Amino acid sequence: MDLQLKEKSVIVTGGGSNIGRAIVLELARESANITLADLDEGQAGKVAEEALKLGASDIQVIKTDVTDLANVQTMVQAARQKFGGVDVLINNVGWDDLMFFSQTTPEFWDKIIRINFLGALNCTKTVLDAALEDKTPTSIVSVSSDASRQGEAREAVYGAMKAGINSLMKSIAKENGRFGVRCNVVCPGVTIPGDDDDVGETSMWAKKDGMFTEEQFAKIAAALPLKKVGRPRDIANAVLFLSSNAVAGHVTGQVLSVSGGYSMIG
């Protein structure tokens, strides 16, 4: 199936590791023009080299702190200047450190809020402004989490911010559909890097054993209807589907769980 993403201008935030990396590489296979926005320039550069080998039409790496609005505005402007606009924004940046809410602190809350919610606000507002100015159909896909739909122990603040993303995308979809702007959400479950999936030093998966033990991974898989945990490419495929006007052009305001059946919400 042709997603018709060839030479489309696509921004991927947090594109250097795990899910973001997989999204970039799948976009490369579709010959997209990619702006890879990440704090870790070294890791992002490695992914960019892989993307070019896989067939990306072109790619640029922009060091970006999504919590800084001015920094985001500079990144989006770079995408517009190099590729003539922005056709797709993928809000992929996310971070958490698993702990019970009783163990958290206001400083921890602030970090979670800034990375997971404020970052998406900054990127979405900046790209939306560009879309309305340029009068171009634009798809915005935000990577959320099934923790936003089910509630999850040790992810209280993270899950709350991701739930905010779900609501934000629905509201923006309703407000801006008449301008050709589509907004959708993909909610992964536990999604672990494979042996071939590099992660950068700033990734929450940099110390995979600090997230879950192998025994816990096995228990999670056993509890899922599909009996397996997610891999980055599982999420990337769903993101690309929703990004494409060719195949998902009549889909907006939707929250799609890609979690092996962990969440089954109508």
Map out the domains of the chain as residue ranges: 9-258
Residue 15 pLDDT exceeds 80: yes
**pTM of the full structure:** 0.94
Task: Strand 181-188: give its sheet, edge to edge.
Answer: 58-63, 33-38, 9-13, 88-91, 138-143, 181-188, 255-258
Q: Which two tokens stand for residue 96?
A: 């958490």
pLDDT value of residue 217:
86
pLDDT value of residue 197:
57
Pick the CATH number of 9-258 from 3.40.50.720, 3.30.530.20, 1.10.287.110, 3.40.50.2300: 3.40.50.720
DSSP of 206-223, one letter per residue? TTGGGT--HHHHHHHHHH
Q: Using 50, 70 and 90 to split pLDDT, how confident is the model at 203?
A: low
The pair phi, psi for residue 31, each rounded to 5°, is 65, 40
Q: Among 55, 254, 245, 28, which residue's Cα sits nearest to residue 131?
A: 245
Q: How far is CA 220 from the centre of its chain?
A: 22
* For residues 232-257, average pLDDT: 98
* Higher pLDDT pick, 73 / 200: 73
Kindly report which listed range (99-108, 117-126, 189-198, 254-263) carries the lowest average pLDDT score.
189-198
CA-based torsion, 117, 119, 123, 125: positive or negative: positive
pLDDT tens digit string along 144-200? 999 999 999 999 999 999 999 999 999 999 999 999 999 999 999 999 887 555 776
CA-based torsion, 180, 14, 83, 74: positive or negative: positive
Q: How far apart are CA 194 and CA 4, in angstroms?
A: 28
Q: Using 50, 70 and 90 to split pLDDT, how confident is the model at 208?
A: low
The upper half-sphere exposure of residue 116, i.e. CA atoms within 13 Å in the direction of its Cβ, equals 28
